[in-house]
Structure 1
Amino acid sequence: MRLPIPRQRPRARRASRDPHWDNIRYFSGVLVVFGHVMDSVADRDGLRWLYIASWAMRVPVFVMVAGYFSRADTLTPREARRLIESVLVPYLAIGLLHSLQRHHYDGGEWTFYTAEPGWGLWFLLSLLCWRAALPYLAQLRYPLATSVFVALLVGYIADIGAYLSLSRTFTFLPFFLLGWRLRQGWFRDAMVALWSRYAALGVIAATLVIAWVVRHEVQLGWLFMKGPYGQGHLLDAPFAWVTRAGALAVGFVVALAFIRLVPRRHLPVISYLGAGGLYMYLLHPLMLRPLLERYGVDWVGPWPEQAALLLFALALATALATPPVRWLLRPLVQPRIGWLFRTGTAPAPRDPGPGADKGATSGSPERQLDVARPV
């Protein structure tokens, strides 16, 4: 007698990742690492040109990715736990490592770099503020236009600077809201139309040419946006806002063109590594500082040496996004600290909701910067 074979329940399918956004994470993350290795040698013509030309494709795009995977839901206890576990705890943990490194290399009085975030950490602190404020900003009639106005206004407030990353939180907020609007369907048809591909190619080509022409006129402080007008060599009041407005406008156009040109299909290796974009972004300063302290970058001179520096940055960025590194350092970048919270506040997976890309993964915006599984 043949026994009946019990039917197995089909396994719940993981929400699939959108390869388009994983590709964007990888390319923009690599450019962020490029920017940091070029910081102290931006006086070399080639590197200065690349630094200026790629600015809008680096941090503005990374901020737009965070906005794209954010929701304007009310901040419930579960959402609060998401922010604490995915943003605040990694910010404090990595900030402690930055502090230990700085104390080791610089000596002097011990300083815990939390109030004034260390290299690249401002992004997490700003992300915490953006995500917490989004439900309230979404109630405004024109949230994006309002954020641009505020970004221009805060440059006149002397007390808003690097402390708690306030200046960058306000000035990069428009990019966060633009990413959120993209998720809601802004420019959806235009971003897939054939004409927009050629327009985007023209924008990127013009950016590369213009950046070369104006490389010595553009002052890098215009792009940092980490302090009030009058610092970082911005124009003096009352027309200092014009420079920042121009930078924001260029950032919007070039970032959208970059997103349009990044392939939407799955790219071997690239799409896979793009899931580790946040690891790439947060960990590379900790890897770079010992190398720069030991070897420096004074050896960088002509074009071959500049190319070698960029190849090193590419290798470092790629290595930090690989699965072994992510597995090893997950407790630092994506900690699980359920013991800290009351029961009943565990984050649950959510449906992407109306207007979302069907290929995009559900889950918290912070984890969507990186991993495939919803939380």
Structure 2
Amino acid sequence: MTTAAISNRINRFDNLKGLAIILVVVGHLIYLKKTQEIDLIRNFIYIIHMPIFFFVSGYFSKIDEDQPIKSFKRLMIPFMLFCILYWLFQKYVLLGHPRTLFINPGYGLWFLISLFFMKMLLPVMDKLRYPVLTSFVLAIAIGFIDCNFLGISRTFVYMPIFLIGFYYKDYASGFSKKYGSIYSILCNRKVILILAALTVLALVICANAFSINLICLKYPYHGFDLYEMLSRAIIICLGIISTLILNQLMTNKDIFLTKFGKNSMSVYIFHLFTLKILLDILKPYYAIHPAMALISVFAISLIIVFVLSRDFVTTFLNIVVDEIFNLFFKGSYAS
């Protein structure tokens, strides 16, 4: 593979993460205004934004002896550090009642620990005969258990898309060899666009039909509820299909999304603090027409992502994580 090909591949996945991080910020900020139309957009976003992150994370995951310590450095140290900072922020700045430290991750930090658990489970899942199918069954079954602490429920819920990302190259190569003609049809841009349109229609229907509690995929079922089980299966499948279609449609070029995606971790972590302040400041002024509120949400979200995706923010975050890591561990592990 040429250097150019490698660069293009990275750009495509950075662009996917760039799109996802914009949707994350919009999805969090959109709670400022509640109307039927805005709830529909919020639900739509919540079905697709996190599957993109887990797919890309799975794609670049590896199974080797250094992965546990590297994952601890990249994920657990930021998780523990910002859990503490966020707890202090809620208690002494916002004067609120923070959640139980570490056990009940505050406002988005669940992603870090869920991704860490996925990477730790990857060698075990890889030994299974049907890892993706098994993970899908577990994603449905975890709804019978109330285990929202430590991000455990969503670790299992998003495991299928993480594994699809991990096996993506092998699956695509195997499918193209075994079903070459079908693969060619599916890779046709017109066919992809038709599938994308049908998927958007399905997303709109589900975003309108399902409550946000179902779409968040973190709450247990109310007993043996077939409707909730089927709803969860549909939401997971739509997240997977949407991510795969976006992966096919996303450009390989270096565009404005690329910078957002490369520095998406710093945006994800720091926007949690920014939004909490903005929510309190802006909420009194959002009793306006829903369209104006929505335009404001997207504009403010883009500004937040632009500022927090600057290289100096990511550099600062990396320095802090490196210094904490070096206090407790010997040796050097690349990011």
Aligned position for 2:21: 29
Shift of 1:85: 1.3
Kindly indicate whether the alpha-carbon contact (under 8 Å) linking 1:191 and 1:260 is maintained by their aligned counterparts in 2.
Answer: no
Aligned position for 2:137: 149
**Are residue 226 (structure 1) and residue 218 (structure 2) matched?**
yes
1:299 & 1:48 partners in 2: Cα distance?
Answer: 15
Of 313, 318, 325, which residue of structure 1 is paired with 2:313?
325
Kindly indicate whether the alpha-carbon contact (under 8 Å) linking 1:300 and 1:309 is maintained by their aligned counterparts in 2.
Answer: no
1:60 & 1:138 partners in 2: Cα distance?
Answer: 20
- Give a deviation string over 1:203-250, Cα, whole Å, max 9, x none: 3323444444565422111111112112xxxx9624531111111111
Residue correspondences, number: 322
Of 120, 135, 152, which residue of structure 2 is paired with 1:166?
152
2:15 & 2:324 partners in 1: Cα distance?
Answer: 26
SS in 2 for 1:315: helix
Kindly indicate whether the alpha-carbon contact (under 8 Å) linking 2:57 and 2:165 is maintained by their aligned counterparts in 1.
Answer: yes
**Are residue 340 (structure 1) and residue 328 (structure 2) matched?**
yes
**Are residue 252 (structure 1) and residue 243 (structure 2) matched?**
no
Shift of 1:63: 0.9
Shift of 1:263: 0.6
Of 263, 266, 283, which residue of structure 1 is paired with 2:254?
266
SS in 1 for 2:73: helix
SS in 2 for 1:226: coil
In structure 1, the gaps of 5 or more residues are: 1-14, 349-374
Kindly indicate whether the alpha-carbon contact (under 8 Å) linking 2:90 and 2:97 is maintained by their aligned counterparts in 1.
Answer: no
Aligned position for 2:69: 81
Shift of 1:183: 3.9
Aligned position for 1:199: 191
Shift of 1:253: 1.1
- Once the two structures are aligned, what percentage of the paired residues are identical? 24
- Give a deviation string over 1:176-196, Cα, whole Å, max 9, x none: 111111143436858887744
- Give a deviation string over 1:269-327, Cα, whole Å, max 9, x none: 33233210111222211111011122226335331231121111111112111113223
Kindly indicate whether the alpha-carbon contact (under 8 Å) linking 1:155 and 1:227 is maintained by their aligned counterparts in 2.
Answer: yes
* Structure 1 pair 169–302 and aligned structure 2 pair: CA distance change class (3 A): same
SS in 2 for 1:296: helix
Of 23, 32, 42, which residue of structure 2 is paired with 1:51?
42
User: If each structure's helix is expressed as a fraction of its own residues, which one has the higher value?
Assistant: 2
Shift of 1:334: 6.2
Aligned position for 2:60: 69
- Give a deviation string over 1:356-375, Cα, whole Å, max 9, x none: xxxxxxxxxxxxxxxxxxx4
Kindly indicate whether the alpha-carbon contact (under 8 Å) linking 1:86 and 1:335 is maintained by their aligned counterparts in 2.
Answer: no
2:137 alignment partner AA:
F
TM-score normalised over the length of structure 2? 0.86
SS in 2 for 1:58: helix
Larger Rg: 1
Aligned position for 2:179: none
1:61 alignment partner AA:
I
2:19 & 2:95 partners in 1: Cα distance?
Answer: 36
| Segment drifting more, 221-230 vs 188-197 | 188-197
Of 261, 272, 275, which residue of structure 2 is paired with 1:285?
272
TM-score normalised over the length of structure 1? 0.77
Of 282, 291, 316, which residue of structure 2 is paired with 1:303?
291
